[in-house]
Amino acid sequence: MRFLLVLTTFCQIALGAERVRTFALTDTKHDSFPADGGKRMDDLLAKGVTVRSLELSWKKYEPTNDAWDEAYLTRIRTELRVMREKGFKVVLDLGLQYAPDWAIAIQPFRDNLGNVKTERVGANTIFSPKAREEVAEYLRRVLSKDGIGTDFFGIRISSGAHPHGEILYPDG
**pLDDT one-digit tens code per residue, 19-61:** 455 555 554 455 567 777 778 888 888 888 889 989 999 999 9
CA distances from residue 90 to 53, 108, 141 in whole angstroms, order as listed: 6, 33, 19
Provide the whole-model pTM. Answer: 0.75
Q: Is the dihedral of CA 146, 139, 137, 56 positive or negative?
A: negative
User: Tell me, what's the pLDDT at 113?
Assistant: 83
Q: Report which of 91, 124, 82 is spatially closest to residue 107, judged by C-alpha positions.
A: 124
Close Cβ partners of 42 (under 8 Å, ≥ 6 residues apart): 86
In the predicted model, residues of the chain with pLDDT beneath 50 are 1-11, 19, 27-28, 164-166, 172
